Amino acid sequence: MSAVMPEPTWVALGPIDSIPRLGARVLRRDGGDIAIFRTTDDQVFALLNRCPHKGGPLSEGIVYGRTVACPLHNWCLDLATGQAKAPDEGCAPSFPVRVEDGHVLVSLTPGAD
């Protein structure tokens, strides 16, 4: 018997232009804030706003390509997966994001589509 997964809860964040290119916005929520990032080519990603190393606020990090560098100790995380890049190890949970008609929607369920 398989468990039925609940439908993800999607939250409308606003227009994609409300997130600066190479920047982030924060969605406050119980269980940890979510950082929503925008790349130069308008891809949007979401990670728990907490570096797996020392808990630094990823939303305040430097975004380049599809990577964010934590502002505390420069750990680099893949925006799509939350996985730390070698030689560092660890992962920040990622959240599904979609853009519909120029508006960003973020799932409150990590890894659920």
Q: What is the rounded distance in angstroms from the CA atom of residue 59 to the CA atom of residue 83? A: 16
Tell me which residue of 101, 97, 104 sits closest to 16, measured CA to CA: 104
Domain ranges of the chain: 29-107
Instruction: Give the Cα separation of 61 and 78 in Å (integer).
Output: 12
* DSSP 8-state code for residue 93: P
Question: Are 58 and 46 spatial neighbours (Cβ–Cβ below 8 Å)?
Answer: no
Residue 112 has pLDDT above 60, yes or no: no
How many helices and strands (H and E) does the chain possess? Answer: 0, 10
Of the chain, the percentage scoring pLDDT greater than 70 comes to 92
pLDDT at 41: 96
SS3 content of the chain, % helix, strand, coil (to 5): 5, 40, 55
Q: What is the mean pLDDT of residues 46-64?
A: 97
The answer, yes or no, to whether residue 113 has pLDDT greater than 70, is no
Token pair in block for residue 97: 């994001």
The CATH T-level fold of domain 29-107 is Rieske Iron-sulfur Protein (2.102.10)
17-37 pLDDT tens trace: 999 999 999 999 998 999 999
Q: Would you call 108 helix, strand, or coil by DSSP?
A: coil
pLDDT reading at 5 higher than 90: no
pLDDT of residue 71: 96
